[in-house]
Amino acid sequence: MAFHLDDVRRLTGPNLLMDSAGAIIDVLFDDADPQLVYGQWQHHLRRCVEHLDIEVSATSYCRFYQGGASFAVPASVDMLYGTCDLLELAWELCVENLMLTDEQQKSNPVDFSARIAQINMQIKTERRPELLSLMQRAAQHSVLCLVDDDDLSLGSGKSTQCWPLDSLPSPQSIDYDGFSKIPVALITGTNGKSTSVRLAAQIASSAGLTAGLTSTDFIKVGDDVIDQGDYSGPGGARMLLRDPRADIAFLEVARGGLLRRGLPLNYANAALITNIASDHLGQYGINTLDDITQVKMLVAKAMRAKNKHESCVSDKGRNDEALTSVLVLNADDERLLAAGQALTQELNICWFSTDAHHPSIVNALAQGEPCVYLQNDCLHYAHNHQITHFGHIQDMPMTLMGSALHNVQNALGVIGLCKAMSIADEAVEKGLKEFAKDASDNPGRGNLYQYNGATVIVDFAHNTHSMQAVIDMANKLAAQMQHEHPNMQKHVMFSHAGDRSNQDIIDVTHAVTAFSANRYVLAEIEHYLRGRQLGEVSTIVTDALLSRGIDKTQIVSASSPEAGAQATISRLVPGDLALLFVLDEREQVRALLD
């Protein structure tokens, strides 16, 4: 038997195993009975808790998966580091009990007394009863309270007040009636998250609101990019919600943040799940598409029960229409369809589909429930037996004349989200017609350029599902162009991150061949080797291309995405079509094309 501690971390919000904050430990093992391992760990957890000077919960939760398990314990936010140490000690004792002989235990045992003393000291150092008291009083008054390692804030948007943890006010001194919550939406899914938050923010801006958004690329309020980087976790959410300029917030909630820390907050006025597809399998015990579905459906924990309303006050000082939590789901995704159908009695669900005759759409129309659908190439939103038309997809730049079906789906989902946020129809329609007129609206997502008389598409797609969607769009565009340019040559440049499995790399490469390019440029991305050797990924890709009948003369290597883009566009002639999958050096590639 082999046992390995994979990770131990704090959970600051509702998460996959619990509805509260706490700590989690991921462990790997083979040839062992999972229930036996969990039982032993629980035994040692209870033993440790009995020796602590401070009351700590011995209640635990578990999740088994192929090759390992996750064990979690609830804890107050002021004891998370000490609780992590507690979980780790219980695991070491569990392994010692399962693996070592009596002689080995005698020669090199875990120093139980010393470790317990360290944990007691850690927890005593962490404890902040004044923090817990303030959080409890805020909850009683339904005031949003956000806590990190340094600060506590109450309210959001313009009403926000923030204090350092070492100088908190007394709970009795605060006027809780002076705080309000700005409307908040959570956006998750495998693909389309960033496009959706950007489109939603533009629609809100069309309604005269200062919209804030977080994403894997940046955090932004209005036209001001606060910082570049991945802000799809709780840290980005706190930064945005504390910004006094924000009237409304759209938070991208990525898989990594959900698994590392849990939900960024325990309430939302609406949530959107775009789709479920294979990506990052094998991390944190998420090994299957059903596992990914469970992770993405975590946003449902931020939804209020069906028909329960809450009034939001905008930072502009006006009372918005009473809002009810709405979960917007893609009915065309079989896993989301099943997961959503199981919640229809509990939550308000808005289905969206590219098929007006989808059973979920037909049922919603009959029941007067919210739904969004595509019919006769037009987008429609229905609720309470009233239908609103939001225009023809060919009039929406993000759909590239209707050829980008994945962006049609993104538009449908965002319509449902924005209507759940009580945004006016006129603003929704205006946002749809203006979004993605240039690359700055949605950088790296379906950006269209003209270069030397040729058409160039730049996209950030990096998994099989998203690349298939982009290639389908490119093929439709190529078919339209073929009539005017019968001698059109097609070019594609792409890369892969090294942390994908060989099979993932092969699957993505096979997806790329559906473009039937005349020339394939393979770009190395040195910053994303992630354990592989330089050139290793390109070798796998080359072999996969050759296995699909691509001739060696059609395959070109490049040292970087910028070099690959240069090698591609230098060969373009009027009427050609190039597809650039740019995972790194996007600004450099954009400069080349501009």
How confident is the model over 264-321, as pLDDT tens digits?
999 999 999 999 987 767 788 899 999 999 999 999 999 998 766 554 444 443 334 4
Model confidence at 30, in pLDDT bands (50, 70, 90)? confident
Cβ-contact 431, 205 below 8 angstroms: yes
Instruction: Give 177-224 pLDDT, tens digit per residue.
Output: 999 999 999 999 999 999 999 999 999 999 999 999 999 889 999 999
Cβ-contact 560, 524 below 8 angstroms: yes
CB contact set of 116 (below 8 Å; sequence gap of 6+)? 48, 51, 52, 89
User: H or E stretch including 104?
Assistant: helix 102-107
| Residue 504, CA distances (Å) to 280, 284, 508 in order | 10, 18, 6
Of residues 232 and 320, more confidence is placed in 232
Model confidence at 103, in pLDDT bands (50, 70, 90)? low
Q: Helices 536-547 & 502-512, crossing angle to 10 degrees?
A: 50
Paired with 228 in beta bridges are 218
- State residue 403's pLDDT score: 86
Q: Which of 9-18, 229-238, 426-435, 477-486 has the lowest mean pLDDT?
A: 477-486
- State residue 319's pLDDT score: 35
- Which residues in 440-502 belong to E strands, given as ranges? 447-451, 454-459, 490-494
Cβ-contact 23, 80 below 8 angstroms: yes
User: H or E stretch including 316?
Assistant: none
Residue 484's Cβ-count burial label (10 Å; 0-12, 13-18, 19+) is exposed
- State residue 439's pLDDT score: 66
Tokens at residue 53, please?
């000077």
According to CATH, the topology of domain 184-434 is: UDP-N-acetylmuramoyl-L-alanine:D-glutamate ligase (3.40.1190)
Instruction: Give 458-493 pLDDT, tens digit per residue.
Output: 988 878 888 888 899 899 999 988 888 999 999 999
**Which residue type is seen at 577?**
L
Tokens at residue 462, please?
């990096």
Model confidence at 437, in pLDDT bands (50, 70, 90)? low
Cβ-contact 8, 260 below 8 angstroms: no
pLDDT at 240 over 60: yes
pLDDT at 364 over 50: yes
Q: How far is CA 223 from the centre of its chain?
A: 22
- State residue 482's pLDDT score: 86
**Which residue type is seen at 297?**
M
Residue 237's Cβ-count burial label (10 Å; 0-12, 13-18, 19+) is buried
Residue among 384, 387, 359 nearest 372 (CA): 387
Model confidence at 56, in pLDDT bands (50, 70, 90)? confident
Cα 322 to Cα 311: distance, rounded to the nearest angstrom: 4
The sign of the dihedral angle between the CA atoms of 187, 300, 343, 429 is: negative
Residue among 443, 446, 410, 414 nearest 427 (CA): 414
Domain boundaries, the chain: 2-126, 129-178, 184-434, 447-593
The CATH number, out of the four listed (3.40.50.720, 3.30.1330.10, 3.90.190.20, 3.40.1390.10), of the domain defined by the range 447-593: 3.90.190.20
Phi-psi region of 314 (alpha: psi -120 to 50; beta: other; left: phi over 0): beta
Summarize the confidence of residues 549-568 as an average pLDDT. 94
Q: Are strands 323-324 and 248-252 parallel, antiparallel or unpaired?
A: unpaired
Cα 69 to Cα 556: distance, rounded to the nearest angstrom: 43
- State residue 530's pLDDT score: 79
**Which residue type is seen at 255?**
R
Model confidence at 501, in pLDDT bands (50, 70, 90)? confident
Residue 527's Cβ-count burial label (10 Å; 0-12, 13-18, 19+) is exposed
Average pLDDT, the chain: 91
Tokens at residue 242, please?
């504390």
Summarize the confidence of residues 406-428 as an average pLDDT. 96
pLDDT at 106 over 60: no
The sign of the dihedral angle between the CA atoms of 148, 151, 154, 159 is: negative
| Residue 242, CA distances (Å) to 20, 152, 156 in order | 22, 10, 5
Q: Which of 104-113, 196-205, 292-301, 446-455 has the lowest mean pLDDT?
A: 104-113
- State residue 320's pLDDT score: 42
Cβ-contact 17, 72 below 8 angstroms: yes
Q: What is the SS3 assignment for 509-576?
A: HHHHHHHCCCEEEEECCHHHCCCCCCCHHHHHHHHHHHHCCCCHHHEEEECCHHHHHHHHHCCCCCCC
Cβ-contact 382, 371 below 8 angstroms: yes
